[in-house]
Chain A
Amino acid sequence: MIRLENIDKSFEGESGTVVAANNVNLHIEKGKIFGIIGFSGAGKSTLVRCINLLERPTKGKVYIDGTEITSLSKKELRAKRKKIGMIFQHFNLFASRNVYQNIAYPLKYRGKSKSEINKKVNELLELVGLTDKIHAYPSQLSGGQKQRVAIARALANDPEILLSDEATSALDPQTTKSILKLLKELNAKLGITIVLITHEMQVVKEICDQVVVMENGEVIEQGDLFNIFAAPREGITREFVESTSNLSKIYELIEEKRAVVQTKAGEFIIRLRYLKRNASESLISYISRNYNLDANIIFGNIELIGDNPIGGLVAIVSGKEEDIYAAIRFLKDKGVGVEVINNGVLA
C-alpha cells in the first residue's frame, strides 16, 4: 500500500543541517493500523509528511499503491492527495467555516452537485457521531468534537489512507480513548489504512497492528505490536513499553529502600515477563503448589494485546532456596522471562 524507499530528509537550519530522516525504508500494508512512535524531534512528523509529500524527501522514493508519487506532476499529486486523508494535533479546522462547510471543503469545486455534497456531509457526520453540530463553528466545539469534524473532513473523498499526526496529543485521556475507538471502527468498517504517529505508547497499544520506533531520524525497531511489547530489543523501545505499565516502579521502591521491598533471608523479589503467548496459564498458583512457595504479588500488569495477554508481575517469593531456583527454571522453560531483582541473601 505505502512503500518508503531510502528516504532521506534534511533541513537547512540556523545551526547547520538537521537530518530528520535518514535512509528510512518502510512498507505499510493495506488495511493495517501502523504506528510510528518516537520522542519529539525523532523525525516522525517529517516522515509522515513524506507520505503525502507535504515534505518532499531530499532523497528516496515514495510509492502508494504501486505509483511512485515522488515523480508525479503537481496536478497528479493533488489528485492523489485527495485520496490520502490527514488529521492533525491541533485539528486545523477553518475557523470561518462551520462544521458543514469544513467537511464540505474537500468536496467543493469538484463538479459535485449541492445535493451530493449535502448527502456526503450528513453521512460523514453520522459516521463520526456529530449530526447535531452541523451548524456549529469550530470555536463552539470541544477538542474531541473538533477532531471528529477533522476526521470527517479527512474522509470526505473516501481516501484509502488516513495519516494521523499526533491526533490525540492535545486531548484528555478520556477523549483520546474515544477518538482511538473511532479510528479503530473506521479501520474495521471502511478498511482504511491508518498511519498514526505519536509519542504515547498507550496510543500504540490501544489500536496499532504494526509499530515502528524512531530515533534521530532513523527507524530503530519495527515489528508487530505483540512482539514489540513482549520483546523490545532497543533501549528506547523498552522505555516506551515500560511507560505503559507500573512494573518498573519496583526499581524505584528498592532505591528508596521502602519497607515493602525489604526482604528477609529466603525471600526473592522476582520479575516475570510473559514473552510468549502463555500468560493465560495459571503459572503462579502452579509454582506455589508444586514447589511449596509463597508468592506475594506486589505489582501486576497484564493486558490484552490483540487477543494475547501480555505483561508481567513483580512478586516476592519465599520458600527453600533450591525450590525457588527450581521454580525459576520451570518458568523459564515455559518461556517466561524471569529476572531476580533481589535474592534475600544479598539484602
Chain B
Amino acid sequence: MESWLNEIMPNVMNKTPELWKSTQQTLYMTFYSGIISFVIGLIIGIVLIATGPKGIAKNKLIYSILDKVINLFRSIPFVILLASLIPLTRLVVGSAIGTKGAILPLIFGTVPFYARQVETALAEINHGLVEAAIAMGTSPIGVIFRVYLKESIPSLVRVTVITSISLIGLTAMAGAIGGGGLGDFAIRYGHQRNQADITYVTVIMMLLMVMIIQSVGNIIIKKTTH
C-alpha cells in the first residue's frame, strides 16, 4: 500500500507532516473566521431586514449606512483587503502574519457576503406571518426569533453552506500573508515546483471538506423543511 502510494504521489508522501499541518491550518482558519463571521453576519442581516423598507423597525438611516458599507466591502478584492487590513490586524490580534493573522481579514471578507445572504433568506418570509405574529401580541424581538429566524432555518442553512464553501476558497489566499493552509501548500509545491501530485491531493482534500459541509447542510435542510 505505502509503496504504491509512494509511486503515484512521491512528493505528497515526502511531505505528509506538512500536508496535515496545512489541512489543520485551513480547518482552523475556516472554523474560527466562520464562527465569528456567522454571528456578526447574522446580526447584521437581521438588522438589515428589521430596518429595511418592509421591516418591523424601519430606519432609513441605519439601513442605508449598512447597505452601503456592505457594498463597499464586497467590492474590495480579498487580496487587497488582506494587505490593507494589516495595521488593524496587528492592533487586534497582535500579529499581522501567520494563520492567526489571516482570521481578521477572512472575517472582513466573509461578513458582508454572509450578511447579504442572510438578508435575502429572511426577506423570503411571507409578510403575512409577521403580521399574524404581531396580531398575536408578539414583541419585535419575538418576531425576529420566533418568526424570521425560526421560519427561515432551511434558507439560513442553505446560505451558510454557500458562505462556508466560499470561505474555504478564501483561506487559500491566506498564504499571501503567511497564513499557510492547503491553498498555500498547493501553490508553493504544486504550482511553483511543478509537483502536480500535490495539487491533486490538496484539491481532493478541499473537495472532501466541501462535500462534508454540503451534505451536513442538506441533511439539516431536509429535516427542517416541512
Q: Please determine whether B135 and A96 come into contact, CB atoms closer than 8 angstroms.
A: no
Q: Please determine whether A86 and B153 come into contact, CB atoms closer than 8 angstroms.
A: no
A259 to chain B minimum Cβ distance, whole angstroms, is 51
Give chain A's interface residue range (CB within 8 Å of chain B): 20 to 34
Q: Please determine whether B137 and A82 come into contact, CB atoms closer than 8 angstroms.
A: yes
Chain A 136-164: CB-based contact to B (< 8 A → 1; otherwise 0): 01110000000000000110010000010
A26 to chain B minimum Cβ distance, whole angstroms, is 19
The 3 closest A-B pairs by CB, nearest first: A92-B132, A137-B226, A82-B137
B134 at the interface (CB under 8 A from A): yes
Specify which chain A residues have a CB less than 8 angstroms from the CB of B135 in the assembled complex. Answer: 52, 54, 81, 84, 86, 163
Interface residues in A89-133 by Cβ distance below 8 A to B read: 90, 92, 94-98, 105-106, 109
Within 8 Å by CB of B137, from A81, A88, A98, lies A81
Q: Please determine whether B128 and A90 come into contact, CB atoms closer than 8 angstroms.
A: yes
B64 at the interface (CB under 8 A from A): no
B147 at the interface (CB under 8 A from A): yes
Q: Please determine whether A106 and B147 come into contact, CB atoms closer than 8 angstroms.
A: no
Q: Give Cα A41 to B171, complex, Å.
A: 54
Q: Please determine whether A94 and B137 come into contact, CB atoms closer than 8 angstroms.
A: no
8 other contacts beyond A86-B136, A106-B137, with CB at 8 A cut-off? Answer: A54-B135, A80-B137, A84-B135, A86-B135, A94-B147, A105-B146, A153-B136, A154-B136
Instruction: Pick from B137, B139, B150, B153 the residue with the most CB of A within 10 Å.
Output: B137
B149 to chain A minimum Cβ distance, whole angstroms, is 10
Given contacts A96-B151, A96-B226, A137-B226, contact A79 B137 (CB under 8 A): yes
CB nearest to A87 among chain B residues:
B132
Specify which chain B residues have a CB less than 8 angstroms from the CB of A79 in the assembled complex. Answer: 137
Specify which chain A residues have a CB less than 8 angstroms from the CB of B129 in the assembled complex. Answer: 92, 94
A256 to chain B minimum Cβ distance, whole angstroms, is 44
Instruction: Pick from A92, A139, A154, A163 the residue with the most CB of B within 10 Å.
Output: A92
